[in-house]
Chain A
Amino acid sequence: MHIADFLNRLPAAAKPDAIDGAQYSVQLALSEPFHLQIQDGVVSVQPGDAPAPDVTLAAEDADLIAILSGRTSGVMAYMAGKLQIDGDLMLAKQLPDFFDSAKLA
């Protein structure tokens, strides 16, 4: 799956309870840059760079897809060097929990 197609599924897969009250900016350094805005109970996906992200995740496209869709532990990917995190480590850990993995499978 192309990374843009996958990321465009994130807004519909967001769990309302999980993102309620959350206000985050997440930069994704992938084969092409994207960023997520999580605000007012809505997730939006935009190409390019966020001005001041809370966290930046860098990974191969397939690895990030596996992490966000719950097929791979983000912590294990981080420990193996497949996921680089710069910024809010705990937000990075929490990010997959914002989404219903069944809707991303």
Chain B
Amino acid sequence: MSRIFGAVAQNGYVVRDIHAAMRHWTEVMGVGPWFFFERVKPDNFTYRGQPSGMEMSVALANSGDQQIELIQQLNDEPSMYKDFLDRGLEGLQHVAYWTTDYQAVYDKALGLGFRVGHEGQVGGPQGRFSYFDAEAHPGTVIELSDISGNKRSLFEFVKKSAQQWDGSNPIRHFG
């Protein structure tokens, strides 16, 4: 539990080949099913305050209460994912905290001195997310995600599907 952000809800892995990563997680680690979003271009996406046309593939699955996110950036637009890969890294990049009181937690973080590395929204105005540039070692970027909109029902569905998963249809292509 973070005294600032609450409980970690998601571990986010930045990978170079999301299909290979999904196969590994399903076949070797037994985690799934994966909900695969082939092309995601967040609205109002900025990197260090400047607009960026970052586009990515995203896959989501759960292991118990923990959500696992796989991200493969599809272009060379500026982002913290690209920064991570450009440092020669691949794997756990961030932990995410979810909130239905996004603006208050966001303001609190800024007040504590956190700086936004990149931010945007997916699923409408209630789907904002921000990544704070406070990395100490790989895997410690902090994501804050607003789940007061579409993301909440999506995440609940992913979690429920994992609880009921019998190993069939391991990758479910959503869009």
A interface with B by C-beta (< 8 Å): 73-76, 78-82, 84-90, 93
Total interface residues on B, CB under 8 Å, equals: 18
Cα of A75 to Cα of B150 in the assembled complex, Å: 12
Q: Assess the A80–B43 pair: CB atoms within 8 A.
A: yes
Q: Assess the A81–B124 pair: CB atoms within 8 A.
A: yes
Q: Assess the B174–A81 pair: CB atoms within 8 A.
A: no
Q: Which residues of B contact A78 (CB under 8 A)?
A: 123, 150, 175
Tell me if B153 counts as interface (CB < 8 A to partner A).
yes
Cα of A85 to Cα of B35 in the assembled complex, Å: 15
Which of A74, A75, A82 has a CB less than 8 Å from the CB of B124?
A82
Cα of A92 to Cα of B43 in the assembled complex, Å: 22
Closest to A83 in B: B150
Tell me if B157 counts as interface (CB < 8 A to partner A).
yes
With contacts A85-B154, A87-B153, A87-B157 known, is A73 near B175, CB below 8 A?
yes
Closest to A76 in B: B175
Q: Which residues of B contact A90 (CB under 8 A)?
A: 172, 174
Identify 9 new A-B residue pairs, CB closer than 8 A, beyond the known A76-B175, A81-B127, A93-B175: A74-B175, A78-B175, A80-B43, A81-B123, A81-B126, A81-B150, A82-B124, A87-B153, A89-B157
Number of A-B contacts (CB under 8 A): 42
Least CB distance from A77 to B in Å reads 10
Judged by DSSP, the binding face of B is mixed
Least CB distance from B107 to A in Å reads 22
Q: Which residues of B contact A74 (CB under 8 A)?
A: 175
Tell me if B144 counts as interface (CB < 8 A to partner A).
no
With contacts A80-B43, A84-B153 known, is A75 near B175, CB below 8 A?
yes
Tell me if B149 counts as interface (CB < 8 A to partner A).
yes
Interface residues of B in 138-154 (CB under 8 A from A): 149-150, 153-154
Contact with A along B50-75 (1 / 0, CB 8 A): 00000000000000000000000000
Cα of A86 to Cα of B125 in the assembled complex, Å: 17
Q: Which residues of A contact B150 (CB under 8 A)?
A: 78, 81, 84-85
With contacts A75-B175, A79-B40 known, is A89 near B35, CB below 8 A?
yes
Cα of A76 to Cα of B40 in the assembled complex, Å: 9
Q: Which residues of A contact B125 (CB under 8 A)?
A: 81
10 nearest A-B pairs in the assembled complex, by CB-CB distance: A81-B124, A75-B175, A86-B153, A89-B157, A81-B123, A84-B150, A90-B172, A93-B174, A79-B122, A85-B153
